[in-house]
Amino acid sequence: MPELPEVETVVRGLRDPLAGRTILAAECTWPRTLATPDLPEFAARIAGQRVTGVDRRAKYILIRLEHDTLIVHLKMTGRLYVVPDASTQHADQWIRFSFQLDNAHQLRFSDARKFGRVYLVSDPVEIVGRLGPEPLDAAFTLDVFRARIAGRAGIVKPLLLNQEFLAGMGNIYTDEALFAAQIHPLRRANSLNADEIARLYTAIQTALRGGIAREGASVNWYRKPDGSKGSAQDELSVYGRAGEPCPRCGAPIIRIVVGQRGTHLCEVCQK
C-alpha cells in the first residue's frame, strides 16, 4: 500500500495538471469504489466544481473543490493520473472512476484490486478527523512524540502503524525507521528509554523525508502520476532484503511476522 512518501509524491504530481480546472462530469465503473455519497448525488454535486488545491492527510489524497472535498485512498493498487481525453494508458484496463476536466483532459483512478475508495464530503474531518499527527509537521516535536508514546504498553511496530497514533506510516518506512533506530519491532513501547525514543523520532522523519526525496518506493504497484517509478526502493536498508547482508554489521536480514505484517530486521543490530 502506498505510504506517506508515495501519497505525497502523487499529490505533488497532480497539483499542476489539476490547478484551476473544473470537473465537468464523473463516471464510475465500479460502484463499490464510491464510499459516500451515493452515485447520483456524487455526480450532481461534483459537476461544475473547480479544483482549488490538492493536499495530503496521512495516506489520503484531498482534492479541494469550491464547495466540497474529493478524497481518494489508493489502498493497495490505486493510481491517479491526468491524461488527454484520447490518451490510452496501460492502467486504463482497471479504471474505476474518471473525471472529465474542462481542458479536454481526464483525471482517472485505476485500481486493479478494487480496494481503493473515493469520498465526496463537505468537511474532510468526516473522513480524516480521527487521524494522528503528521510526522513531518513542525508541530510534531520530540516532546509531542514522547507524550504520545508514554504509557503505551503495546508492541512498537503495530503502534507505529496505527493511523490514530501517527498518520501516514506503513510497513516499508516503519521497518526502515526501526532499523535506523536499532530497535527490535517486537519491543514494547513502554520499554523504550529516552535515548531510544529520540532515535526513533529522528529515524521516522529521516526515513519519510528520504522516501519523498526519491519520489516513493515502487516495490509493487505504486507509480507516480506520470507512470514512472520512484527510486526509494533502491535505498532501502532492510525492507524486502531478507537473506541479504545487513548494511551495518553484515549479518543476514531476516523476515518475521509482526501483527500480521511481514517485517524485516537485523537481529544483531536490533536486539
- Give the C-alpha separation, 254 to 184, whole Å: 12
What's the average model confidence in pLDDT over 62-76?
Answer: 98
Instruction: Evaluate whether residue 230 is within a structural domain.
Output: yes
Residue 177 and residue 203 in contact, taking contact as beta carbons nearer than 8 Å: yes
Q: How confident is the model over 87-115, as pLDDT tens digits?
A: 999 999 999 999 999 999 999 999 999 99
Query: Catalytic site residue 2?
Result: yes
Q: Measured between alpha carbons, how far is 63 from 19 in angstroms, rounded to an integer?
A: 10
Kindly report the CATH number assigned to the domain that includes residue 146: 1.10.8.50
Q: How confident is the model at residue 264 (pLDDT cuts 50, 70, 90)?
A: very high
Q: Name every residue whose Cβ is closer than 8 Å to that of residue 38 and which is 6 or more positions away in sequence.
A: none
Do 9 and 118 lie in a common domain? Answer: yes
Q: What is the mean pLDDT of residues 175-195?
A: 98
Q: Could you tell me if residue 81 is inside a domain?
A: yes
* 124 and 147 fall within a common domain: no
CATH code, 25: 3.20.190.10
pLDDT of residue 1: 83
Catalytic, 37? Answer no
What's the pLDDT score for residue 180? 98
- Domains of the chain: total: 2
27 is a catalytic site residue? no
Same domain? 92 vs 149: no
Shared domain for 123 and 164, answered yes or no, is no
Of the listed 12, 27, 261, 267, which one is catalytic?
Answer: 261
Does the pLDDT value for residue 247 go beyond 90? yes
Same domain as 160, residue 52: no
> Per-residue pLDDT tens for 110-141?
999 999 999 999 999 999 999 999 999 999 99
* 3, 8, 176, 215: the active-site residue: 3
Catalytically annotated residue among 57, 59, 79, 117: 59
Answer yes or no: do 164 and 70 share one domain: no
Domain that holds residue 12: 4-128
Mark whether 66 is an active-site residue: no
Q: Is 90 part of any domain? A: yes
* Whole-prediction pTM: 0.96
